[in-house]
Amino acid sequence: MKIALDPLTQAVWHTLFSLWPVWAAIGGLLLIRIAIVIYQTRRLTRAGMPEIDRMDGITFERYLVSLFRRQGYNVHHTPASGDFGADLIISKNGVRTAVQAKRYAKNVGVKAIQEVVTAQKMYICAKAMVVTNSTYTRAAQQLARANNVDLWDRRHLVKMILSPQQKGRTSGPADEMPS
């Protein structure tokens, strides 16, 4: 049985069909992009402290997105500029937390605490947190206590990386805590 199409419909179908190589190329590029994103996500998921210590700040933020999602949090990445002091907004069980990520080679100071406290109010969060691959100065610890800010230092970050909630995560010597 042959279906009769009007000339305009025939022209549209002919044009779409004749462009199949373009559609195939676009589909291929999309598949490649999806494969790259999956590869990068898996690579980040398997990162231990040596890899984290070599990351730039943006990659560290992306790593934390993956870490918090594996912990069961909903994660929202704030804008790269004008973020009011929070890199991520995480939520779980209705509790929103402003998170400041600091991938540092030195100790994190009070400025990070001040920024996340400001962000907590700006983003209407119940909690605030600073996460680093390093440690905090005494003044930063004191200010965090006074403002009820959770601090994840290097040891706590390792503990979270190795926690049983990290499904599919393999640990090895590269993930051990430094002495």
Q: Is 94 left (phi over 0), alpha (psi -120 to 50) or beta?
A: left
Q: Which residue has the tokens 């001040």?
A: 114
pLDDT of residue 132: 95
Chunk the chain into consecutive blocks of 10 residues (it has 179) and report each block's average pLDDT, rounded to whole numbers.
75 76 78 68 63 86 91 89 86 96 93 96 96 96 97 91 57 33
pLDDT of residue 1: 63
**Range 51-167 classified under CATH 3.40.50.2300:** no
pLDDT of residue 171: 37
The order of strands in the sheet holding 88-92 is 74-77, 88-92, 95-102, 127-132, 149-152
pLDDT of residue 6: 81
Reported as type and span, the H/E element at residue 74 is: strand 74-77
pLDDT of residue 41: 59
Where are the chain's structural domains?
Answer: 7-43, 51-167
Q: Take residue 34 and report the two structure tokens written for it.
A: 């999806």
Give the side-chain half-sphere CA count within 13 A for 82. Answer: 1
pLDDT of residue 29: 79
